[in-house]
Structure 1
Amino acid sequence: MAPASPQAAASGEPPHGPRARMRKTLLDAAQRLMAQGITPSVAELAEHAQVSRATAYRYFPSQSALIAAVVDESLGPILAWDSSAPDASARVDELLRFAYPRLESHEAPLRAAIMVSLQQHAEASAGKAGAEPRLVRGHRVDILRRAIAPLAADLAPAQLDRVAQALSLVYGTEVFLVLKDIWKLELPELTEVARWTANAIIKQALAEAAPGKE
């Protein structure tokens, strides 16, 4: 069973209480809509789940809050991922092999999050941002920092950040937009490209930090 979401855990609500069950009902309804290519507003979610708008807004006060909750639910065990491997390359490789099947199986809501984020950015750039809170994304920052933690013994903090930033280009749903949509790769090939690139990034960082390098 997946762990309780950060929001549910913070509320102090029992994981199987009435509020938790209603929240799960709403999240399941949202995921069904997203699987159909619909990124619902909170009002649309309420209609689809056959609950009042007041009830839906009580759980998700904005579309951004709804999308963020669906993303957390979709990522599930990825958010709690950790590794006992002492080597950063092995840890990152383990993360990619663990995470990518889950990302693909929940691709619809994760793509919806990208779409909403891009739309909000475009509206803000055009000076048309409304009262809707911005969707905050960034789980990969913490996950990748955990994955490359062993490199702290060899790299300066700025170098460590650079590795995490570079790995951000090969970890996440955005990779699907390039390797699946443009290159038409299936999950095994996509994962292999990501693993190869991640390994090259770490090797290059260690080579640059090696003593005696000119």
Structure 2
Amino acid sequence: MPISAFPAPRDESLTHTRAKTRSLLLACAMELYDGGVFPSITELAAHAQVSRATAYRYFPTQSALISAVVAKSLGPILEWQPQDNDALKRIHQLLAFAYPQMEQHEGALRAALQLSLQQWANATPGEKFVRGNRKRLLKLAVEPLQNKLPAEALQRVIHAFSLIYGSEVFLVLKDIWGLELDDIQDVTQWMAKAIIRQAEEDARVEG
């Protein structure tokens, strides 16, 4: 069964004490990830000063832990709402909102990507770590273009936007090119402008 890291469901049945313990484990995990350490459940238990059995009770697998950490640290991205009826401004707003969140919790991003790659390499059956909601956010960003572009062209824009928004893009520009946050946003927003401009030009020619 896939695990969705965005967002992790809350267990409303947790007692106050159990909720407090879970919050402690999450806080310790986020501290470790943000420090560049990708802890095992056993290492997390030691850092949080709880028993291994307790840590495994809340997070029985690495996928469960990373899903919860990503949901906690990057979940606010899901709350993004556009403030404009212009598609270019919307995608710029999304990039400007999301990438600072990713930079702040870069460790969690890297842990999620590492786990995803490990599962792919090992062809792990059963439980999978799934990063999601990119489609929903990008569709929200391009809404103003729905009456301006043919359906096929609109879908092409969404596909192209998926190459300028996301954790993989952030890490590629940071690791390979050494870009800082401002430069990452500058490059991706410039690309967004080019994508929309080309789509609108194609629509005029074909129209």
Could you tell me the TM-score, scaled by structure 2's length? 0.86
Task: Give percent identity, aligned residues only.
Answer: 51
Aligned residue for 1:213?
206
Amino acid at match of 1:213: E
Aligned residue for 1:56?
55
Aligned residue for 1:147?
141
Three-state SS of the structure 1 residue aligned to 2:128 is coil
1:105 maps to 2:104 = yes
Alignment of 1:61-80 (within 5 A): 61-80=60-79
Aligned residue for 2:92?
93
Q: CA deviation at 1:171?
A: 1.1
If asked which structure has higher relative contact order (CA below 8 Å, sep 6+), I would say: 2
1:141-184 Cα distance to aligned partner (Å, 9 max, x none): 22212222222222344433332221111112222332222222
Three-state SS of the structure 1 residue aligned to 2:130 is coil
2: CA distance, partners of 1:201 / 1:42? 43
Q: More displaced, 17-26 or 106-115?
A: 17-26
Q: CA deviation at 1:106?
A: 0.8
Unpaired runs of 5+ in structure 2?
1-6
1: CA distance, partners of 2:26 / 2:175? 27
Aligned residue for 1:174?
168
Aligned residue for 2:4?
none
1:197 maps to 2:191 = yes
Are the aligned partners of 1:13 and 1:19 in contact in 2 as well (CA < 8 Å)?
A: no
Could you tell me the TM-score, scaled by structure 1's length? 0.83
1:172-206 Cα distance to aligned partner (Å, 9 max, x none): 22223322222222111111001101121122222
Three-state SS of the structure 1 residue aligned to 2:82 is coil
Q: Aligned pairs, how many?
A: 201
Q: 1:189 to 1:48 in 2, by over 3 A?
A: same
2: CA distance, partners of 1:45 / 1:157? 48
Aligned residue for 1:119?
118
1:112-160 Cα distance to aligned partner (Å, 9 max, x none): 1111111111111xxxx366x2111123222212222222222344433
Aligned residue for 2:3?
none
Are the aligned partners of 1:75 and 1:102 in contact in 2 as well (CA < 8 Å)?
A: yes
Q: More displaced, 28-37 or 108-117?
A: 28-37
Name segments (4+ residues, structure 1) moved above 4 Å.
Answer: none
2: CA distance, partners of 1:67 / 1:160? 33
Q: CA deviation at 1:37?
A: 2.6
